[in-house]
Amino acid sequence: MIDRPITAHRRDLGDFLRTQRQKLSPADAGLSVGPRRRTPGLRREEVAQLSGLSTTWYTWIEQGRNVSMSSLALSRLAAALRLTRAERAYLFELAGKRDPEEPEDETDDVTHTVCACVDAIGTPAYVLDREWNARAWNRQAERLFPGWLSPGADRNLLRFIFLEPGARALIDGWNERARRVVAEFRAHAGSHLNDAALQEPIGDLLRQSPDFARLWQQRDVMGREGGERTFNHPLDGFLRYEQVTFNLASRPGMKLTVLVGAGIPADGVASDRIGARGRRLEPARAA
């Protein structure tokens, strides 16, 4: 094995595991406590034993060495150390791996609380899942994006931008926005690019859109940082917004996008409540 320099992530990973190991008592892990025990928490060899790993390999991880780590091995470590959901997510984030226990369909479930938050926003707002399908949106967003959020339309943002003819007229500066959107999607998808849920829609776009295929092959990566967004709306004319994007802590992989600024008139655009898969929910009637 060739030793490589210890990176900040590897050091953080080793420090995190050591801290969690020292917090966990042998009794918590179902181990007997000997009379001459001096080590706080668990010993390295005990964590390795509980995880079904070699002591040497585990020691190298704590030391921050650049050793290979599989998602399955990390999952066993998380179980052995009794990590909480947040701690487990942090472990996999530090290791740059996907948690195999992360539900594949987690993005299908948008809670009514999230829908209510989207509904309460007074400007265009929508929630995207990992594949960039719209899962919730308000009336202002539906008015702003005909052909994407209108009834019966394809809810995928990439398919709208590259396959819906009206998108090129609606989105001001389409060429630059399309380039950035592809780079943002690649950064957002990250380690999930090989998932079947992403491979199929990406493959369809590569076949159907030469523009997407060209931009995808450039392998640009950009954060979805927001900024100015302008539109040539068929009904409301030229509109200017500032885009702000938030990660939803309760739904990893989902993002809330809000467009703030002078744009859609206020008359007649009170938001509907949006359901879990983008459907509208009728307002509650008074008893």
Give the pLDDT confidence of 68-86 residue by residue, as tens digits.
Answer: 888 899 999 999 999 888 7
pLDDT, position 214: 96
pLDDT, position 34: 63
Q: What is the pLDDT of residues 97-110, one digit of tens each?
A: 877 776 554 444 67
pLDDT, position 36: 67
The DSSP call for residue 268 is T
CA–CA gap between residue 218 and residue 185 (Å, rounded): 13
- Answer yes or no: is pLDDT of 212 > 90: yes
CB atoms within 10 A of CB 229: 21
CA–CA gap between residue 95 and residue 157 (Å, rounded): 30
- Answer yes or no: is pLDDT of 26 > 90: no
pTM of the predicted protein model: 0.61
Among residues 180, 182, 178, the alpha carbon closest in space to that of 168 is found at 178
Beta bridge partners of 244: 258
Please name the fold of domain 106-281.
Beta-Lactamase (3.30.450)
- Provide CATH code, domain 8-32+40-95: 1.10.260.40
